[in-house]
Structure 1
Amino acid sequence: MFCVEQEKLDRYHWLVDELNRHGRLYYVLDAPEIEDDEYDALMREMLQFEKEHPDLIRDDSPSKRVGGAVLEAFEKVAHAKPMLSLEDVFSKEELHDWLQRAAEGVGQPWIPWCCELKIDGLAVSLIFEDGKFVQASTRGDGIVGENVTENLKTVKDLPLRLLGDVPGRLELRGEVYMSKEGFAQLNAAREEAGLPLFANPRNAAAGSLRQLDTAVAAKRNLRLFTYYVQDAESYGLHSQSEVLEWLKVRGLPVQKAWSRAGTEAEVLDFLERWSGERFSLPYATDGAVFKADPTEYWKILGNNVKTPRWAVAYKYPPEERKTKLESIEISLGRTGVLTPVANLTPVLISGTVVKRASLHNDEEIQRKDIRVGDQVWVRKAGEIIPEIVRVDTASRTGTEESFTMPAACPVCGAAVARLPGEVALRCPNRSCPAQLTQGLIHFASRQGMDIRGIGDRLAEQLVQSGLVKSFGDLYALRVEPLVRLDRMGEKSAGKLIQAIAKSKERPLKFLITALGIREVGAGVAAELAKRFSSLDEIAAADEERLAAVEGVGPVIARSIKTFFGEEHNRRLIDGLREAGVSMRSETAPEAPIGPLAGKTFVFTGELSRMSRTQAQELVAQRGGKSVASVSKKTSYVVVGEAPGGKAEKALRLNVPTLNEEEFFAMIDNLSQHMPGGTNDA
């Protein structure tokens, strides 16, 4: 262990505790005390210490939340006690009968109930050892679930260490969910990319939680509520109400929408109150859960095979309204996707007035036989996104008109195209005004070229006035034509031109982000800038070389090649180059040095001597590189216990394989010829 001054070590421990405290204030209590830039400054200081002293990193450090590992598969986890489902009831009469039977089961005319809203998410089991989070698993079949520990670490609501003293093994149950805003943003991005949409927040949360790449899970902004303590009595808890309060005290997230009902009237009041108010919550709910409040009754009532007799779920009926589809228009996104949108006679659904609903693509229109003038039933998918469920064909009069997607872009007139494997139609013209406006906003964003002053309104004016027909035109702007635009004085125009000029020297990673290449966000752009010396080198790289970059892989590599393969995109880049925009990395990528320089390794299965991450580090120390996928150019595939499909692919491609013994023999042999001649394996 490195010798660290006690003052610096104490400061590090304070930083971890303080950042965890502020994270809880922000994500769990919705009561932040400091601004984002203050939080970021503390985080940078902590990360710098951890970079210098990796052996001192605490298990509950906020840095542990950053996803990056690619899992081979989810291991199975047997639950200590089954994770049960809930029996559903669909009317107040059914609910009354169910609650009455439960009361009779404990020999009482009535019992108090804990009322909670039912979150539209995915149930998980959480294990803590002496207050430290150690494991998370899905429900699975109720008996055996899947280990999703690494993905749960990316959920910022989850404390990696509990508040207070909680000795021994603690098992909790909770619900992983996606906020309404997060769900809407995810589906919008998927629709823009031509990918299938998630049907509801629960499916989105489940799909995100089961990502083998934890970096993908981290980007999905999953959230968590906890609601159950296994063997609650051993913690002095004798009611569900006490459990919820105890969880809050320990720093765990608990939904606010719950109450204790001492009478049936209070149960019905809870149902009635939240039937409307639930739509104002930032997360989706599909019902209410009623649990016998005294936990002593749980043991008396017991369980059925798959459901408890002490808890029941009331499902709110889906809210559907009939209205008229007045017209269909085409919306054009930043990447050129043409999306048909239904204009509806305004109708109140789930607490808000709905006037428009996406029809997604022409296949959806044909499948549902949607026509302009139809009477249609509309609801909100997951209580969030308006959708047309079905057509009331019985009310047709014969005046309804079928709709056909346009063959040309309605904005610029370019012939639309459908890329292989995609349902979406796209306008290929990146200089199309509709794309250009949104592209310009993205280009000037803080994660892009950071041109302060270019917002939605100014971007629209720049495009509509003809001042900007491509990103490169920004760098030719002058004060005189700018001051003719609305709300643009001479002083503002001068500042804008200064900001544009300053952006020419932005680091390469920001330029890559600014170009808006499909699937390439800030993280991938940063990795590309590390591995390539210039934008031209990236453009010239083949898919295999691109796919080998951390976080890229074959899908993103194909997207990058497609982008640089399009003539109008090459002209766009030429225009930026002529304007003087820097296209080279700040520092030349370091050439790998060592006996494994130029060699690529893929690891599959588990190693007994060390983790895969540690083995990959041994390869990196010797100049080699570890990648996620197997190709013909892979040097070796290292096969551990319980390997996945990568081992089979290596055999198909005639890629050399090494078992664990052979791999470490290679490392041992190379270590003897490295400077110092030591064996650190």
Structure 2
Amino acid sequence: MTAEQAQARIKELTQQINHHNHLYYQEDRTEISDFDFDKLLEELVRLESEFPEYLEADSPSQRVGGTITKEFETALHGSRMLSLGNTYSDEELLAFDERVAKGLEHRNYEYFCEMKFDGVAISLVYENGKLIRAVTRGDGTKGDVVTENIRTIRNIPLHIKGDNIPDFFEVRGEIFLPRKEFDKINAEREAAGDALLANPRNAASGTVKMQDSSIVAKRRLNCYFYQLLGDEIGVDTHEEAIKLIEKWGFNVSQTYSKCDSIKEVLAYIEAWREKRFELPLDTDGVVLKVNNYDQREELGFTAKIPRWAIAYKYKAESAESRLLSITYQVGRTGAITPVANLSPVHLAGTTVKRASLHNANEIERLGLHEGDAVLVEKGGEIIPKITEVVEDSRLDGAKPIQYIDHCPECGTALERKEGEAKHFCPNTKSCPPQVLGKIEHFLHKRAMDIDSLGTERIRTLIDQGYIKDPADLYDLESKADELLGLEMSQDQYQKSDEGILYISLTKALFALTEGLALSAISKFLEQNTAFPLEEVLVRFQDFIRKANKKTAQNVGSIQRLIDSLGQAGFPKIEEFLPVPVVLYQLIGNYVDLEKIAKASLKENTIHRIMLKLNLPISGEIEDRIKKLKANTFQEGVISNMMSGIKSSKTQPFEKVLFGLGIRNVGENTAQILARHFKSLENLKVATTEQLIEVNGVGDTLVTSIFDYFADEENLRMIERLKSHGLNFEVIEDEKELQSNALDGMKILASGKLNNFKRDEIIDFVEANGGQYVKSVSKALSFIIEGEDMGPSKKEKAQKMGVKLISEEEFLKMLGKNTA
């Protein structure tokens, strides 16, 4: 390819990619698949690498990320990012309007209304049309500098082009993760066996603060902008400012409206009360601001909030439902959380079937009885909660809910510490969710870095008795053949508060019918999610008749299921069926319902129940039971697991020490202890005095270390890990020095460097005889000042009298060519 051809193709690719980005972020639609989009981007990156003279600063390729930021600098905001006062009623809004009128002494003013988005506030600073800094809200006065991560968001302009662009200006907006991207990420995490993200707002917040910008780029964050700041902007109203940033290419939500009176504001609020649920992100209200800037100046501020703006919060929607049952979940720290299973109710654009009850105090406060009618609310449109019981609708003879006193996972008696609301399971050694937490910590990329074992696979191995501590992972190498076909259980199983195993309605209907595809059943259930279980099953019979596949047999099978559910009397869990009822319909000729129920109390999968029952089944029944089972371990998965476990044995001692999970020993502390004591044996026998000598070690940490090594089970586990070849002492790495040019110097780099990534500068300093230090102190020889060095760090260095040099000066010290 000639240079002219490359230039033309780069221009063509840039236009295509920008077009598809515009469709996705501004119009919420696509014309090509993610795969095809990525291919266009890969081609652009390749051509720009081959012909760097045609790489433009605002090329789409500059958004793919790759920068690693281990510590975020902080920066002061040019002007405070203010909080707003909140109002929840028309009366309070009218009172606000009266205060505005009184402050201005007339009613010749307008309001500008915008939706209040549930995202992450961001400030972007531009100089000479170039994005130079992105800062989170923080405490309103200062925030974290996240420029590299924000550059990856494809609808944020990196360069502003056009006439009369101010030399310096700031725009503010709300970063969010669109619901469809949030759902897509969670689907991928679920398939990989990883923990699901809680909600879009938290996911966006966590993404913005990720250390690896290339991961941020893959999350497809979006941003709506709502404010323009600067000294010479040339606008007199907020409406003009919004029109101006739209013209400059900033993404502004087209939900705004200028209102001539408070009456029009109230109409705007009412118009969006239901329509907001159609937006691609969560909202919880409306922000209204006096439009004219001079009038804002006249109205001024209180100590905390502006007098010219207020947020109207929509009241959380409430609807009546009925309590079907309570499931008790055990967290990874052993905390017990009760969850109410409810009859379906439509709230905030979604169907709600579950609500958190938090703890025993909440159940007591509500006065919950079995089968109570309850009012359910979605606070902030995110987490459903029960707000009160409708006592007039209480069923005759209903009994008060009795909180469980034994762990539903392991059967251990629960404890509740004085002054704490939560009950806890004290069985830290063998309670499955707590073991899961420890194993996941051990596998973490910052510890043993075994990424081929996701949450679902770990949980399966724990539930089925293969692992109970980290040492058991290394025994799996000799049990690879046993793992083939092992059932993974996270998605499709639930347990009632009595411990009875339940299976997803989708899988149950698939196994109890013939000739109906699993995808067709799933689609049917998605379309009927708002109906209670009994009605869903009746509707499913109609669905079978329309499908016209083995109609009489399948309709009869579902009718037997309906009858059995009514007779058996198991608690109801929406979208799940009791395994004993489902299995009895398949194997009732071999065993009675009571025996199946007893087996399902002890086991966590269909596979394990069938092994326990040990029945002589085959043929069609066996095929139907296979349809009930979850995904299983396959050869490829097992091979990747074994490879990851084997390679983890090369992890250095500091990683192993962190992975052990000693209370209060974080990643940095593990590094310090490993470098100081050189081996686990030395750490184990260290005295209080020897431990206290180490920088950063205090009495609390000393107690944690002594407690850990006083536990015989921990010592036995360590011996087993040693027998598998893990590193329990520091292996001194004899690095070959390139020079002694930096001998005796302590050096820190801050900001973005052009010739080094973060880890590379550390290695380079050490390879030339220097010591790399990670914080500002008087002991530093100098700081290498990169682009966008944090102002607070720079100010601290200057106050301490620490020398600042450029990256170019640093390289010249070592005789390196910077051209």
Output the TM-score relative to the length of structure 2.
0.53
| Partner in structure 2 of residue 210 of structure 1 | 209
Distance (whole Å) between structure 2 residues aligned to residue 346 and residue 140 of structure 1:
39
| Partner in structure 2 of residue 299 of structure 1 | 297
1:418 counterpart = 2:417: no
Per-residue CA deviation, residues 523-564 of structure 1 (Å, 9 max, x unaligned), is xxxxxxxxxxx66753654466989xxxxx979xxxxxxxxx
1:406 counterpart = 2:422: no
Residue of structure 1 aligned with 2:749, choices 606, 628, 641? 606
| Partner in structure 2 of residue 84 of structure 1 | 82
Residue of structure 2 aligned with 1:274, choices 266, 272, 275? 272
Distance (whole Å) between structure 2 residues aligned to residue 540 and residue 400 of structure 1:
50
Aligned to 1:289, the other structure's residue is in SS state: strand
Aligned to 2:204, the other structure's residue is in SS state: helix
Structure 1 counterpart of 2:647, which letter? I
Distance 1:469 1:347, change over 3 A: closer
Distance (whole Å) between structure 2 residues aligned to residue 159 and residue 278 of structure 1:
26
Distance (whole Å) between structure 2 residues aligned to residue 307 and residue 617 of structure 1:
46
1:120-519 equivalence runs, <5 A: 120-162=118-160, 164-165=162-163, 166-182=165-181, 201-215=200-214, 217-218=216-217, 220-231=219-230, 234-328=232-326, 342-357=340-355, 364-366=358-360, 368-369=362-363, 372-374=370-372, 376-388=374-386, 397-403=398-404, 406-407=408-409, 416=432, 418-419=434-435, 421=437, 426-427=459-460, 428-429=462-463, 431-432=486-487, 434-435=489-490, 457=519
Deviation of 1:458 after TM superposition, in Å, equals 11
Structure 1 counterpart of 2:39, which letter? A
Distance (whole Å) between structure 1 residues aligned to residue 339 and residue 773 of structure 2:
50
Per-residue CA deviation, residues 419-458 of structure 1 (Å, 9 max, x unaligned), is 17569994525723535989xxxxxxxxxxxxxxxx9659
Distance 1:400 1:459, change over 3 A: closer
Distance (whole Å) between structure 2 residues aligned to residue 332 and residue 141 of structure 1:
34
Distance (whole Å) between structure 2 residues aligned to residue 192 and residue 29 of structure 1:
31
1:640-651 equivalence runs, <5 A: 642=776
Distance (whole Å) between structure 2 residues aligned to residue 172 and residue 405 of structure 1:
52
Distance (whole Å) between structure 2 residues aligned to residue 544 and residue 389 of structure 1:
51
5+ residue gaps, structure 1, are 439-454, 471-480, 487-502, 505-510, 518-533, 548-552, 556-565, 567-591, 597-602, 626-634, 648-658, 673-677
Distance (whole Å) between structure 1 residues aligned to residue 179 and residue 207 of structure 2:
15
Identity, % of aligned positions: 31
Distance 1:426 1:20, change over 3 A: same
| Partner in structure 1 of residue 600 of structure 2 | none
Structure 1 counterpart of 2:489, which letter? A
* Contact 1:131/1:162 (<8 A) preserved: yes
Deviation of 1:350 after TM superposition, in Å, equals 1.8
Distance (whole Å) between structure 1 residues aligned to residue 240 and residue 638 of structure 2:
49
Per-residue CA deviation, residues 269-309 of structure 1 (Å, 9 max, x unaligned), is 11111122222322111211111223342233333343222
Distance 1:290 1:420, change over 3 A: same
| Partner in structure 2 of residue 98 of structure 1 | 96
Distance 1:636 1:180, change over 3 A: farther
Deviation of 1:92 after TM superposition, in Å, equals 1.0
* Contact 2:285/2:314 (<8 A) preserved: yes
* Contact 1:28/1:252 (<8 A) preserved: no
Distance (whole Å) between structure 2 residues aligned to residue 86 and residue 433 of structure 1:
48
Residue of structure 1 aligned with 2:647, choices 522, 538, 543? 538
Deviation of 1:383 after TM superposition, in Å, equals 1.0
Distance (whole Å) between structure 2 residues aligned to residue 139 and residue 356 of structure 1:
33
Of stretches 252-261 and 49-58 in structure 1, the one that deviates more from structure 2 is: 49-58
Residue of structure 1 aligned with 2:112, choices 111, 114, 117? 114
Deviation of 1:21 after TM superposition, in Å, equals 3.6
Distance (whole Å) between structure 1 residues aligned to residue 492 and residue 350 of structure 2:
29
* Contact 2:67/2:213 (<8 A) preserved: yes
* Contact 2:10/2:44 (<8 A) preserved: yes
Distance 1:367 1:15, change over 3 A: farther
Deviation of 1:91 after TM superposition, in Å, equals 1.7
* Contact 1:332/1:435 (<8 A) preserved: no
Deviation of 1:312 after TM superposition, in Å, equals 1.5
Distance (whole Å) between structure 2 residues aligned to residue 391 and residue 192 of structure 1:
39
Structure 2 counterpart of 1:255, which letter? S
* Contact 1:418/1:426 (<8 A) preserved: no
Distance 1:144 1:542, change over 3 A: closer
Distance (whole Å) between structure 2 residues aligned to residue 77 and residue 389 of structure 1:
41
Aligned to 1:172, the other structure's residue is in SS state: strand
* Contact 2:339/2:355 (<8 A) preserved: yes
Distance (whole Å) between structure 2 residues aligned to residue 594 and residue 10 of structure 1:
46
Aligned to 1:434, the other structure's residue is in SS state: coil
Structure 1 counterpart of 2:20, which letter? H
Distance (whole Å) between structure 1 residues aligned to residue 304 and residue 389 of structure 2:
38
* Contact 1:607/1:641 (<8 A) preserved: no
Deviation of 1:45 after TM superposition, in Å, equals 0.9
Aligned to 1:373, the other structure's residue is in SS state: coil
Distance (whole Å) between structure 2 residues aligned to residue 623 and residue 9 of structure 1:
41
* Contact 1:138/1:147 (<8 A) preserved: yes
Distance 1:637 1:221, change over 3 A: farther
Per-residue CA deviation, residues 450-479 of structure 1 (Å, 9 max, x unaligned), is xxxxx965999xxx99xx989xxxxxxxxx
* Contact 2:762/2:772 (<8 A) preserved: no
Distance (whole Å) between structure 1 residues aligned to residue 321 and residue 400 of structure 2:
16
* Contact 1:89/1:312 (<8 A) preserved: yes
Distance (whole Å) between structure 2 residues aligned to residue 192 and residue 615 of structure 1:
30
Distance (whole Å) between structure 2 residues aligned to residue 145 and residue 240 of structure 1:
25
Of stretches 35-44 and 537-546 in structure 1, the one that deviates more from structure 2 is: 537-546
Deviation of 1:47 after TM superposition, in Å, equals 1.4
| Partner in structure 1 of residue 696 of structure 2 | none
Distance 1:436 1:350, change over 3 A: closer
* Contact 1:437/1:459 (<8 A) preserved: no
Aligned to 1:418, the other structure's residue is in SS state: helix
Distance 1:207 1:316, change over 3 A: same
Deviation of 1:191 after TM superposition, in Å, equals 14
1:32-47 equivalence runs, <5 A: 32-47=30-45
Structure 2 counterpart of 1:639, which letter? V
Structure 2 counterpart of 1:174, which letter? G
Distance (whole Å) between structure 2 residues aligned to residue 45 and residue 329 of structure 1:
51
Structure 2 counterpart of 1:398, which letter? K
Distance (whole Å) between structure 2 residues aligned to residue 68 and residue 290 of structure 1:
39
Distance (whole Å) between structure 2 residues aligned to residue 186 and residue 389 of structure 1:
31
Aligned to 2:489, the other structure's residue is in SS state: helix
Per-residue CA deviation, residues 91-132 of structure 1 (Å, 9 max, x unaligned), is 211111212322343343242211111112232211122332
* Contact 1:162/1:252 (<8 A) preserved: no
Distance 1:141 1:122, change over 3 A: same
1:638 counterpart = 2:639: no
Distance 1:225 1:665, change over 3 A: closer
Number of matched pairs: 534
Aligned to 2:749, the other structure's residue is in SS state: coil
Answer with 1 or 2: which has the greater Rg: 2
Distance 1:242 1:668, change over 3 A: closer
Q: Which has the higher helix share?
A: 2
* Contact 1:137/1:147 (<8 A) preserved: yes
* Contact 1:180/1:384 (<8 A) preserved: no
Deviation of 1:379 after TM superposition, in Å, equals 2.5
Aligned to 1:326, the other structure's residue is in SS state: strand
